[in-house]
Amino acid sequence: MDYRSDTFTKPSKGMLNAMLEAQTGDDVFGEDPTVNKLEAMMSELFGMEAALYCPSGTMSNQVAIKVHTLPGDEVICSTLAHVYIYEGGGIAFNAGAQVRALEGDRGMITAADVEAAINPDDVHKARTSLVCLENTSNRGGGCCYEWEQIEKIREVCNKHGLKLHLDGARLFNALLATGQTAAQFGATFDSISVCLNKGMGCPMGSVLLGSAAFIKEARRVRKKLGGGMRQAGYMAATGVYALENNVERLAEDHLHAKKIAAALLEREFTGHMLPVETNILIFEVKHPWSPITFRDFMQQQDIRVMAISPTQVRMVLHLDITPEMVDRTIAVIRSME
Ligand SMILES: *Cc1c(COP(=O)(O)O)cnc(C)c1O
């Protein structure tokens, strides 16, 4: 039972069969029908002109940031943003841009904070050119933006001529939790990256969405980064399968997360827990347990969790965690002395 991340999933039989049966071609030549199908499904779903299949969410984000900026530009995001703290300094390495990180709340920033952080047109200052949002926010415990806030940030971007990118690694989780639609997001952002390798259950992959002109340039940058893949249809087939089979079921992960949260909150050793909005739990573990001893005890019961700070543990739900496993996990939590 691996709750360390929703990346610890294995392809199901159905997904493996979809790979076996995939039609493929050379995608660097644009001739892989399954990659083309996945890209078309995603651009249609989001109502965006074009899409690009990338090997990872990191590459999708980095390609987008590179296309939207020039070296020396400034990118506004949260201090907790994946693009800033978990992509190996990629913004500096790949785009030559720098970050203006805003405090925000659980990885979410406001339109007012964005507007206050935009540099004036002054030779001393870096040119602000891009805002990156993350939804759901990973380090924020899987929380979701309210639609009004996103709209306000879009207005600020329009007013100041900034591009707006969404790191939507877990965007499908947000759509299910809030009732917001893919079309709303597609109409509002200049670019969106969506992971297939999280709760969607694929072994790899992410899709980057945007205008036809943006994706044309993104395809060029993906190639430069070594992300042009040949018979990628074998992998893209997992994405097609996941879109058809694994989206609605994410709601089950959200229910499981709430059940485990309720069991944890019955225990005195559970300290502050971030609000559980989707499939991620982040909570403090207190005396007589600590994040490390909690993790090690769980591991002895065949349950893997992650100690993510000196005070906090993270657990993430996904399609390889069954209702029976959730029940057993709750029994273990109740048994802890
Ligand atoms: C996982 C993740 C990514 C991309 O991760 P890859 O492992 O490179 O696919 C990007 N943003 C967020 C918020 C993530 O959780």
Dist. CA 63 → ligand 1 center (Å): 13
- The answer to whether the CB of 82 is under 6 A from ligand 1 is yes
- pLDDT tens string 253-305: 999 999 999 999 999 999 999 999 999 999 999 999 999 999 999 999 999 99
Residue 317: is its pLDDT beyond 90? yes
Query: What are the residue ranges of helices labelled H in the chain?
Result: 13-20, 33-46, 57-68, 82-85, 90, 111-117, 147-160, 171-178, 182-188, 212-224, 233-245, 250-265, 291-300, 323-335
What is the rounded average pLDDT for all residues in the chain? 98
Tell which of 187, 212, 245 closes a domain. Answer: 245
Is 93 contained in some domain?
A: yes
Mean pLDDT to the nearest integer, 315-335:
98
Domain that holds residue 256: 250-335
Residue 5 CB–ligand 1 contact under 6 Å: no
pLDDT given for residue 111 in this prediction: 98
Q: What is the pTM of this model?
A: 0.97
Question: What gap in Å lies between CA 288 and CA 273, rounded to an integer?
Answer: 17
Give the rounded percent of residues in the chain with a pLDDT score beyond 70.
100
Domain holding 153: CATH number?
A: 3.40.640.10
* pLDDT at position 200 over 90: yes
Q: Do residues 148 and 285 share a domain?
A: no
Among 5, 6, 53, 58, say which to mutate for ligand 1: greatest number of ligand atoms within 8 Å of CB. Answer: 58
- Determine whether the shortest distance from the Cβ of 85 to ligand 1 is under 6 A: no
List the one residue out of 159, 146, 322 whose CA is nearest residue 249: 322
* C-beta of residue 217 within 8 angstroms of C-beta of residue 18: no
- 185 with 278, same domain: the answer is no
- Based on the domain organization, do 225 and 257 belong to the same domain? no
- Tell whether 211 and 258 lie within a shared domain: no
Q: What is the domain count for the chain?
A: 2
**pLDDT over 90, % of the chain:** 100
Residue environment code for 32-68, b if the CB has 16+ CB neighbours within 10 A, otherwise e = bebbbbbbebbbebbebebbbbbbbbbbbbbbbbbbb
Q: Does 18 share its domain with 86?
A: yes
218-253 pLDDT, tens per residue? Answer: 999 999 999 999 999 999 999 999 999 999 999 999
At 337 the pLDDT is 86
Indicate whether 240 and 269 sit together in one domain. Answer: no
Q: Could you count the other beta carbons within 10 Å of the beta carbon of residue 213?
A: 11
Residues 103-138 have pLDDT tens digits of 999 999 999 999 999 999 999 999 999 999 999 999
